[in-house]
Amino acid sequence: MRNYEIAQILYQIADILEILKVEWKPNAYRKAARTIEAMPEDVYEIYKKNELEKIPGVGIHIAGKIKEILETGSLKYLDKLKKETPFDYEGLMSIEGMGPKKVMALYQKLKIKTLKDLEKAAKHHKIRELFGFGEKTEESILKNIELARTKKKRILLGTALPIAEEIVSGLKKYCIDIKYAGSLRRMKETIGDIDILACSENPEKVFEEFSKSGEVIVKGSTKCTIRLNTGFHVDLRIVKPESFGSALQYFTGSQTHNIALRRIAISKGYKLSEYGLFSGAKQTAGSYEKDVYTKLGLQYIEPELRENAGEIEHALKNTLPELVSYNDIKGDMQVHTNWSDGENTVQEMVKAAAAMKYKYIAVTDHAGNLKIANAMNETRLKKQAKEIEKIQKKFPQIKILKGAEVEILKNGSLGVKNSVLKELDVVIGAVHSYFKMPEKEMTQRIVNAMSNEYINILAHPTGRKIMQKLPYGFDFEKIIEASKKYSVFMEINSWPERLDLSDINARKAMERGCRLFVNTDSHSVQNLNLIRFGIAQARRAWAEKKDILNTLDYEKLVRVLKKTSPHSKL
């Protein structure tokens, strides 16, 4: 069982314990779940070394439950808790804004047990009558019920990619070549299922090993489908070596990209399929993916661009952008430590960033009046600054920037005084409250914050959480203009739940002359590796190295943060 699956079980326990009004335990389970979810090392390997209790936040009791999950694939304690819960908590909790307390209130007041009950109650305007809900909450519930149903059909990129990589890694020794394809290879935000392609001299052995990863649903001579414990499907296809490249191109998609490509093939007298590119009965390409594009007279198109959004027209003219690479980032500009709501110390975060060969890292703990994140006041910010100065001497190979993530208040002012902000190297503004303000007011709120002379970055600009929370309403064009006017740069937040900005919004911003940051919003050393998801999002947005500010050398970055280099002169 994989880290993600274990983390989800722990999250479920935390939610149910909160519903059942058990004190302190929910937070303990959530802390352990967050750590395990972000860990690069397989929990099973830690279990084999009998070191589960060494995982941060995992004590003897939670370690025992993880052991049971790994050994049996289930957990009796969770089964017991579910029986004690009188409603479909998974379904109801999938609705944005429906925390354990609200779910319990709906059950107690209206006997709501299922999504169907919830939808019926909302349509008959029964929810707005309850204390603590109201008309807007009821409307939001109706809007997000369909979002919750979609959530059951797809999973996040950050969940699917480690699963695919683990399966591919386990099968590699039995294959001539093996790669994942589909929307996963295109690094889409959410994935419907995982497609894997392989060519092998021993297909039966490959299928035999593949079958160990889940329950076999379908198995033939060239294809096998399994269902994981989470209910997610993985397809494995075995293809011939001479067709591997064309099959990889075909099954990577997207469908509209492939249709456009086939039209070009037909116009040139070819036939293109997953089996190869043919001129009559003769195969002219197929072993290698790049050869398919070359034969059709196109520049090679990176998988992240294959959405039929102009990439083919550019490829015909050889004018595709040189996308920012996964190795171009020189530092992470949003990192949290245990000074606020992070898991690790400043030194641990800096050491991990230095190990990644970063040239700089910004420590940006929450500051101001955001109580839920243990935000720092002025006194604690000064103490942290002194600690950073001491740690800087231990790590001369990496520059540590003193920063803060500051709440953008309802009126657009920042939650920390300017006299404090001016002492920081980098200031990040973020909206963490009043998400349902009218569009005009929310737009003005954000623009007001961006006009502050000390703010540098607008964090997770639209506030969305994929399959959980829709973006708050505001005029994005006006935010783009404010970004250019005030040299406040929007970020692509690398958290798989956020990936905010979206690829569409990021591309729109860059087309209007904006530059962006790609940050992880890390809350532990493991989270630093999430940067690849943010880079993938930037690539899907057609970003080049010049478009992403934390590809700059430290000296140029400092000029940007001091607002001495406007957008046009970076």
Listed in sequence order, the residues at least 6 apart from 206 whose beta carbon sits closer than 8 Å to its beta carbon are: 171, 174, 175, 198, 200, 236, 238
Give the CATH fold of the 3-151 domain.
Answer: DNA polymerase; domain 1 (1.10.150)
In 409-460 the beta strands, taken as DSSP E runs, fall at 426-430, 457-458
Question: Based on the number of CB atoms within 10 Å of its own CB, is 212 exposed (0-12), middle (13-18) or buried (19 or more)?
Answer: exposed
Superfamily (CATH) of domain 331-569: Metal-dependent hydrolases (3.20.20.140)
Residue 215 has pLDDT above 70, yes or no: yes
Give the CATH fold of the 156-317 domain.
Answer: Beta Polymerase; domain 2 (3.30.460)
Residue 509 has pLDDT above 70, yes or no: yes
CB 528 within 8 A of CB 522: yes
> What are residue 382's phi and psi, to 5 degrees?
-65, -40
Candidates 302, 324, 332, 326; CA nearest to 314 is 302
Listed in sequence order, the DSSP H helices in 152-243 are 157-171, 182-185, 203-211
The pLDDT value given to residue 53: 92
Beta bridge partners of 276: 273
Listed in sequence order, the residues at least 6 apart from 17 whose beta carbon sits closer than 8 Å to its beta carbon are: 25, 26, 29, 81
Pairing of strands 233-238, 223-227: antiparallel
Locate 215 and state its tokens: 């329950």
The pLDDT value given to residue 166: 94
CA distances from 438 to 116, 441, 474, 476 (A): 29, 5, 8, 14
Candidates 554, 530, 569; CA nearest to 334 is 530
Q: Which amino acid is at 217?
A: I
Locate 446 and state its tokens: 């954000």
Handedness of CA 457, 462, 464, 466 (dihedral sign): negative
Domain layout of the chain by residue ranges: 3-151, 156-317, 331-569
The pLDDT value given to residue 102: 85
The pLDDT value given to residue 73: 76
Residue 565 has pLDDT above 70, yes or no: no
Residue 198 has pLDDT above 80, yes or no: yes
Residue 1 has pLDDT above 70, yes or no: no
Listed in sequence order, the residues at least 6 apart from 488 whose beta carbon sits closer than 8 Å to its beta carbon are: 429, 450, 455, 456, 457, 458, 482
> How far from the centroid of its chain's Cα atoms is residue 207's Cα?
31
Q: In this predicted structure, which of 51-55, 149-153, 204-208, 498-502 has the lowest mean pLDDT?
A: 149-153
Locate 104 and state its tokens: 């319990």
Section 329-348 average pLDDT: 96
Section 357-381 average pLDDT: 89
The pLDDT value given to residue 38: 75
Candidates 197, 149, 140; CA nearest to 171 is 197
Phi-psi category of residue 374: left, alpha or beta, with phi > 0 → left and psi -120 to 50 → alpha: left
Locate 470 and state its tokens: 């829709």
CB 387 within 8 A of CB 346: yes
- The tens digit of pLDDT for each residue in 222-279 reads 999 998 877 789 999 999 999 999 999 999 999 999 999 999 999 999 999 999 999 9
Across 25-34, 127-136, 389-398, the highest mean pLDDT is recorded for 389-398
What percent of the chain clears pLDDT 90, i.e. is strictly above it?
A: 72
Q: In this predicted structure, which of 111-125, 263-277, 407-421 has the lowest mean pLDDT?
A: 111-125
Please report which helix (H) or strand (E) contains residue 272, including its range. strand 271-273
Listed in sequence order, the residues at least 6 apart from 435 whose beta carbon sits closer than 8 Å to its beta carbon are: 463, 469, 472
CB 421 within 8 A of CB 449: no
Q: pTM for this one?
A: 0.79
- The tens digit of pLDDT for each residue in 181-197 reads 999 999 999 998 999 99
Q: In this predicted structure, which of 146-150, 180-184, 370-374 has the lowest mean pLDDT?
A: 146-150
Per the listing, tokens 């990889």 go with 248
